[in-house]
Amino acid sequence: MDIAMDRSALQAFLEAHFPQAADYEVDAVTPDGVVMRLCPDARHLRPGETVSGPTMFALADVGIYLAILSRIGPVALAVTTNASIDFLRKPLAGRDLRAEVRILKIGRQLAVGEAILTSEGSREAVARASMTYSIPPQRGVK
C-alpha cells in the first residue's frame, strides 16, 4: 500500500491533535505499519515502577491509528470501535516501550491493526493488542 504520510508528517499530526503527544514518538514508517515509542514518566507508572495497563492500551491505540493514517492520510474522525489486549509480562523498569504496529486490513468502512509491545532492548512481548477503527463515509481531510 502507498505511503500517504511519512514519519515527520505523522509526528506533526500527533503533536497537533493529541494532548499527550510529548510522551510519544514515531520511530519509523515500515512496509507493514509503523514503529512507535513511549518514554514513560511518573504519570504512566503503577506501584512497582511498571507501566500501567491503560498506558499500554493508549500506546497501542495511538500507534495503530497513526499506522492507518500513514496509508490513508489525515482522515478526520476515524474512531476506535473495538480493542482486545493481552498483557503478557511486566515491562522492564526504566526502559522505553516500543510498539511494532502491523496493518491487517484497510477497507471502506473498517480498518484493523495489531501492535506488539516490547521493552527497549528486549525481544519478549510485553503486550499484544488488536484494534478496529470505523472510517467515516466521507474521508474528510483535516
Q: Where does this chain bind a copy of itself (CB under 8 A)? A: 17, 19, 43, 47, 52-55, 57-58, 61, 79-89, 104-105, 109-110, 112, 114, 125, 128, 130, 132, 134
What ranges in the chain are assigned the alpha helix state H? 7-17, 53-72
- Residue 128 near residue 115, CB atoms below 8 Å: yes
- The answer to whether 39 touches 22, Cβ cutoff 8 Å, is no
- Minimum CB separation from a copy of itself for residue 1, in Å? 11
Smaller CB distance to a copy of itself: residue 6 or 42? Answer: 42
Smallest separation, CB 80 to a copy of itself (Å): 5
Q: Closest approach of Cβ 3 to a copy of itself, in Å?
A: 19
Q: Are the C-beta atoms of 97 and 120 separated by less than 8 Å?
A: yes
Are 7 and 29 within 8 A, CB to CB? Answer: yes
Evaluate whether 85 touches 57 at the Cβ level (below 8 Å).
yes
Minimum distance of a copy of itself from residue 36's CB (angstroms): 14
**Three cell numbers, residue 61:** 491505540
Least separation, in Å, of the C-beta of 6 and a copy of itself? 23
**Which of 1/6 has CB closer to a copy of itself?**
1
CA–CA dist 119, 125 (Å, integer): 8
